Structure 1
Amino acid sequence: MLRNLVFGTCLSFIATASLAQGDFVIGLSNSFFGNTQRHKIVDSYIQAAEEAKAQGRIAEYYTLNGDGTVNTQVAHINELILKGVDAILVIAASEAALNGAIQRACAAGIKVIAFDALPTAPCAYKLRVDFAEYGATGAKGIVDVLEGRGNVLLVRGVKGSGNDKDTYDGQISVLRDRPEINIVGEVNGNWSGPVAQSAVAGILPSLPHVDGVISQGGGDGYGILQAFLQSPEYKDDMPAITGGNDTDFVLWWQQEKARSGYATVSVGIDPSSGGAAFWYALNILEGAEPPQEQTYPLTVLTQDNVDDFTGLEPNSIVSAPQDEAWVKEHFLK
């Protein structure tokens, strides 16, 4: 039976009741719980953990969701160390500031598996998303739609995060070689639809006409779209907006493509990564010896394949189940 305990206003703590079904205990320390992507990641982790528990392969699992700060996440990791877990999955709030806590976990014999947002601690296994490639892929897609010329707005992620910097660097690596692409503004959308909508709506009146928006995903695409839909100037002249595989945006894109030929690109990380990371960790505990660091694949939607994604539910992220067999095929061969 699932227990729910809440520590403060920003921390959700979820654990299973301890059952004598298996020996392993696994915990997740998720630094940030403020968007659809992270909710789906945590959901996929819990689904995988429940499946493993039913199989008798784990005794217990924990989930700690933070507020985006390093201090909270360090406290989470320390809590999991004290609980004597066998493995800790980490979505890091900082590349370097968690390293001390992670090293303490490793020194205690705990396997640490980092994914989605990585620390630099050398003892951790890492399922790395190439965020520079992520940013470059989205930027190139928008540049291609605009045929190499036009005004673009950049919508960044959480200020100061490693993922934001790497994604931005990837975007700029494409844009710096495109002299006819003009960056007319930058805002932080925090990978959140509501935050991105507010930020874009606030800056639009001060900008020249925007032809394209290069964003970072995580659920911000539909919020950006709403900001432009609310502006009379863009009612019949919507810019090409990078989606983050949020289904509300993709559903709108599919409909608008059919109606007017609207073209864009969407790039994302499958939120089933939470479940994939769980199976990866459990297999390591059971004796698998994968490389210390591997690259997690991106999911890219284009004008050519967007209509292949059917049965999408609103307020979600495009996702395909990444079960234990998928993990073994991609990471444990």
Structure 2
Amino acid sequence: MLNIRMLAAATSLVALAAGTMGPAAALDPEKPVIALSNSFYGNTWRRQMVDAFTAEAEKAKAAGQIADFVVLNGDGSVNQQNSQLAELILRGVDAIAINAASETALNGLAEKACAAGIKVIAFDSLLTADCAYKLSFDFTGYKTEQAEATLDLIGNKGNVIVVRGVKGSGPDNLMYSAQKKVLDAHPDVKVVAEVYGQATASVAQSAIGNVLPSLPHVDAVLGQGGSDDFGIAQAFEQAGGPYAEKLPVIEGGGSSDFVLWWNEKAKDGYRTTSMNTTPGIGGAAFWLAYEIVKGAEAPKDMTMPVATVEAANLEQMAAGLKPGMIISPSYDDAWVKENLLTAK
């Protein structure tokens, strides 16, 4: 198995299972090699996404559907991901599923891959190369809906903190733009701070903890998910003072830790919202790449569903949840055929 989890410190690509994969011409065309190029591995969502890709790839390999698969994880930088793409092109893989560090800076190598006959499937954090298939979420739509619901819970007035996601990523830009548009439409809502949480509980907790002492009372926090929601909640609980009596409305991003926390707070009347992109998209991206390599016709642009937790299903969703996870279904080949390949 060509399965390499390269963290920020592991930048060498020599470890790409040298010797276990011959030249592209020697591979069985009926059994492709599918690669994942993941720009960032530093939060729960991304790790779970990689696990979803790997789980489906292992199933396909065990069933004899693919020759092998490759997983490369980066440090969030364009330079490292460009190196990944160059190596994958040199290796002659059949398809690359890419969660991109930049919408534009990787386009040159993506187009080079396409020209070499490699199928490129950009997902979650997209690139804009015309030759790439694109599988993503409606970040603008769902973040607009969630921001409006959150502001409704504070009567559309008060002080708000905006916690942004992975700096420089396409999803961060889309979600932030959607949130700003909603905020701009509510003149009685004041943004008192903006911080980056990197979609990570510990980073978000530290960022909120650093700014809280200098802020007026905060009524709501707009986040981006990953696991920032639980980190934000922890920061306010540790701050104590007035927040010991009344916590702000903190947007949930689908982390199981937050949903479990919210389920307990709901017993005392706490209300909020939770919507999240699903890291199971990694599995969907694998099967989409596989089907395209095998000749399936797919739309150039495809949209994944998001997961929603609300008061009506909170208790049900919390039941049996394990800590440290992001709420997500799994997506297999049958799901991809029914929901993506038939999309218009």
Please indicate the TM-score interval, normalised by the length of the shorter structure.
over 0.9
Q: What is the CA-CA distance between 1:3 and the residue it aligns to?
A: 5.8
Instruction: Look up the SS of the partner of 1:120 in the other structure.
Output: coil
Q: What is the CA-CA distance between 1:290 and the residue it aligns to?
A: 1.0
* Match of residue 132 from structure 2: 124
Match of 1:94 among 102, 106, 111: 102
Alignment of 1:10-159 (within 5 A): 10-11=10-11, 23-159=31-167
Show structure 1 runs of 4+ deviating over 3 A.
1-8, 10-22
Q: Is the 8 A contact 2:3 2:70 kept in 1?
A: no
**1:240 aligned onto 2:249:** yes
Match of 2:336 among 315, 327, 333: 327
* Match of residue 194 from structure 2: 186
Unaligned segments of structure 1, at least 5 residues: none
With the length of structure 2 as denominator, give the TM-score of the two structures. 0.92
Q: Give the Cα separation in 2 of the matches to 1:3 and 1:91.
A: 16
Q: Is the 8 A contact 1:31 1:92 kept in 2?
A: yes
* Match of residue 264 from structure 1: 272
Q: Give the Cα separation in 1 of the matches to 2:329 and 2:7.
A: 32
Distance 1:186 1:100, change over 3 A: same
Alignment of 1:213-252 (within 5 A): 213-233=221-241, 234-252=243-261
Structure 2 residue identity aligned to 1:44:
A
Structure 1 residue identity aligned to 2:9:
T
Q: What is the CA-CA distance between 1:278 and the residue it aligns to?
A: 0.4
Q: What is the CA-CA distance between 1:128 and the residue it aligns to?
A: 2.2
Q: Give the Cα separation in 2 of the matches to 1:95 and 1:282.
A: 23
Moved more, 46-55 or 303-312: 303-312
* Match of residue 307 from structure 2: 299
Instruction: Look up the SS of the partner of 2:308 in the other structure.
Output: strand
**1:284 aligned onto 2:292:** yes
Q: Give the Cα separation in 2 of the matches to 1:67 and 1:58.
A: 28
Distance 1:294 1:8, change over 3 A: closer
Match of 1:318 among 327, 331, 338: 327
Q: Is the 8 A contact 2:7 2:73 kept in 1?
A: no
Q: Give the Cα separation in 2 of the matches to 1:5 and 1:126.
A: 24
**1:9 aligned onto 2:16:** no
Structure 2 residue identity aligned to 1:275:
G
With the length of structure 1 as denominator, give the TM-score of the two structures. 0.94
Distance 1:279 1:256, change over 3 A: same
Q: Deviations over 1:59-106 (max 9, x none)?
A: 010000000000000000111111110000000000100000100000
Instruction: Look up the SS of the partner of 1:295 in the other structure.
Output: strand
Instruction: Look up the SS of the partner of 2:67 in the other structure.
Output: strand
Q: Give the Cα separation in 1 of the matches to 2:176 and 2:104.
A: 19
Structure 1 residue identity aligned to 2:288:
Y
Instruction: Look up the SS of the partner of 1:278 in the other structure.
Output: helix
Q: What is the CA-CA distance between 1:159 and the residue it aligns to?
A: 2.8
Instruction: Look up the SS of the partner of 2:190 in the other structure.
Output: strand
Distance 1:313 1:18, change over 3 A: farther
Structure 1 residue identity aligned to 2:245:
D
RMSD (CA atoms): 2.0
Give identity over the alignment, percent.
49
Match of 1:196 among 187, 195, 204: 204
Q: Give the Cα separation in 2 of the matches to 1:99 and 1:130.
A: 22
Q: Give the Cα separation in 1 of the matches to 2:80 and 2:88.
A: 13
